[in-house]
Structure 1
Amino acid sequence: MTATKTALDPKLFKKIEIICEKGEEQLESEQYDTAIETFMEAYDLVPEPKIHWNVSTWILTALGDAHFMLGDWDSLEESAGFAMLCPEGAVNPYLHLRLGQAHFELGNMEPAKEQLTKAFEAEGAEIFGDDDAKYLAFAQA
């Protein structure tokens, strides 16, 4: 079994970080499609296998946020699902939230309940922030 790689070459990491900061600014400016392109640019720089790198968790989570804002549930489910496979992904309450929301919107209620409940149990109602109250209500039902 090979060890999971967690740190990139510092120069490559800095390049990815700069690109992701640009993507975060685009998210904040509600330029979601542009943010997706920017995060994909950063993700393309991550060496294979991408799921072995911590930075992939970060990029895929941000990518999922952009998909969430656009209501692109299939793409959110895909990015959050891949992020779960990356280092620390499976224990990240925010990823449980986003994956649960994707499942909810796609009508996959059993996995939605499981993921939203994990997010709620880990972080309480605060993790749901300003998102539609239906997600918190479903997690608590």
Structure 2
Amino acid sequence: MSIRHPLIAAAVLAVSIATSAASAGSKSRYDWDALGAEFCARSLAGDLDGLRDILTPSLVEKIRAASGNPRMPAPNVLFQSYLNPVPVCEARTRNAAIVQITRSMPGGKAPAWTEYLEVVPLADGTTRIDNVLFATRRSDTLRTRLDAWAAGR
């Protein structure tokens, strides 16, 4: 009987350690705040070349295909819901696949809105931005806009 209790205690301790490690791993595993912050800095600066490093290859290709259309906005507002340049861009991880982007004037003043970055893992082990879900309506995304511009609309 005295042996059972130490074994049970050891088993409980092992499960507790494994659960803590898994919990800690999942917290940091889905922390895309740095990716979102880099997106904010580069999009505010209109640094399309720098953004290519954090976008999926298929999204970069869609941007290239649409780039011949004069209606395509300038890089500093291309990734925004609206064409109003705003100086504040803040990023916060929402879950494993979404980073919330809040854009505004200083102090959160209008115009202000929220967009969402879809992030995906790539085969090389990196995580990149694959789309922007705009604040206007569900069907309004960066990919749908790029498709329209590539088609000449």
Q: Which protein has the bigger strand share?
A: 2
Point out which structure has higher relative CO (alpha carbons under 8 A, 6+ apart).
Answer: 2
Structure possessing the higher radius of gyration over alpha carbons: 2
Question: Do the two structures share a fold, i.e. TM-score over 0.5?
Answer: no
**Larger helix percent:** 1
Structure 2-normalised TM-score?
Answer: 0.30
Q: TM-score, normalised by structure 1?
A: 0.32
